Chains A and B, each alone.
Chain A
Amino acid sequence: MENFIAGTLMLFSNSTSVLIFVGGLLGGMIFGAIPGVSMLTLAAILLPFTGHLSATDGIMLFSVIYCAGVFGGAITAILFNIPGAPENAPTAFDGYPMTQKGQAGKAVGAAVLCSAFGGTCSAILMMSATAVIANWAISAFGPPEVFALVFFGLAVASSVGAATLWKGWLSVLFGLMLATVGLDPVGGIERYDFDIPYLLAGIHFIPTILGFFAVSEVIIQMEKRARGTYEAPKVSLDFPSLVEFWRLKVAVIRSVVIGFFCGILPGIGAVLAAFMGYNEAVRWSRDKSKFGKGELEGVVSSETANNAATGAAMIPLLALGLPGGALTAMMVGVFQMHDMEPGPLVFINSGELIWVVFSAMFFANLCIFFLGWLQTKTVVHLLRIPFHFLAPAILMMATVGAYAIRGLTVDIVVMFIAGIAGFLLRRSGYSVAGIVLGIILGKIGEQTFAQAMQMLYYDPMEYLNRPIGLALILGGAATIVFNIYRALRFPAAARA
Chain B
Amino acid sequence: MGLTRGQLFEVGFWLTFALGAFALTYQFNLEIEIYEFGAYGWPRGVILCIVIAVLGQVYHDVRFGQAHRAVIGEDEERPQHDASYILRMLAALGLPLAYALLLQPLGFYALTPLFILAFLYAAGERRWPWLLGVTAFIYGFLLIAFARLLYVGLPTGNVRPFYDFSNWLLVVIR
List A residues at the B interface (Cβ < 8 Å).
37, 41, 163-167, 169-170, 173-174, 176-177, 180, 184, 186-187, 189-192, 215, 218-219, 222-223, 225-227, 388-389, 391-393, 395-396, 399-400, 403-404, 407, 409, 412-413, 415-417, 419-420, 423, 428-429, 446, 449-450, 453-454, 458, 484, 487-488, 491-492, 495
Contact = CB atoms under 8 A, between A and B. Distances in A.
B72 interface: yes
A170 B50 contact: yes
Nearest to B58: A166
Interface residues of B, number: 71
A190 B28 CA distance: 7
A40 to B, nearest CB: 13
Interface in B98-121: 99-101, 103-104, 108, 112, 115-116, 119-120
Interface of B: 6, 10, 14, 21, 24-25, 27-28, 30, 32, 34-40, 42-43, 46-47, 49-50, 53-54, 56-57, 59-60, 63-64, 67-68, 71-72, 79, 84-85, 88-89, 92-93, 96-97, 99-101, 103-104, 108, 112, 115-116, 119-120, 122-125, 130, 134-135, 138, 141-142, 146, 150, 152-155
A169 B60 CA distance: 13
B154 A403 contact: yes
Contacts of B120: 388-389, 392
A315 B154 CA distance: 37
A1 to B, nearest CB: 41
Given A166-B53, A416-B99, 18 more contacts: A165-B60, A166-B56, A167-B57, A170-B50, A184-B42, A187-B39, A189-B39, A192-B21, A215-B96, A222-B122, A226-B84, A227-B85, A388-B120, A389-B125, A389-B130, A416-B97, A423-B93, A488-B59
Contacts of A186: 32, 34-35, 39
A415 to B, nearest CB: 7
Of residues B64, B101, B120, B130, which shows the largest number of chain A Cβ atoms within 10 Å of its Cβ? B64
B28 A400 contact: no
25 contacts: A163-B72, A177-B50, A180-B42, A184-B28, A187-B39, A189-B28, A191-B28, A191-B43, A192-B24, A219-B92, A222-B88, A226-B89, A227-B85, A388-B124, A392-B116, A400-B142, A412-B100, A417-B97, A419-B96, A420-B93, A454-B35, A484-B56, A491-B68, A492-B67, A495-B68
Contacts of A166: 53-54, 56-57, 60
A388 B125 contact: yes
A195 to B, nearest CB: 10
Nearest to A169: B53
Nearest to B87: A226
B123 to A, nearest CB: 4
Contacts of B28: 184, 189-191
Nearest to A388: B123
A389 B101 CA distance: 23
A462 B21 CA distance: 31
Of residues A170, A174, A429, which shows the largest number of chain B Cβ atoms within 10 Å of its Cβ? A170
A174 B51 CA distance: 11
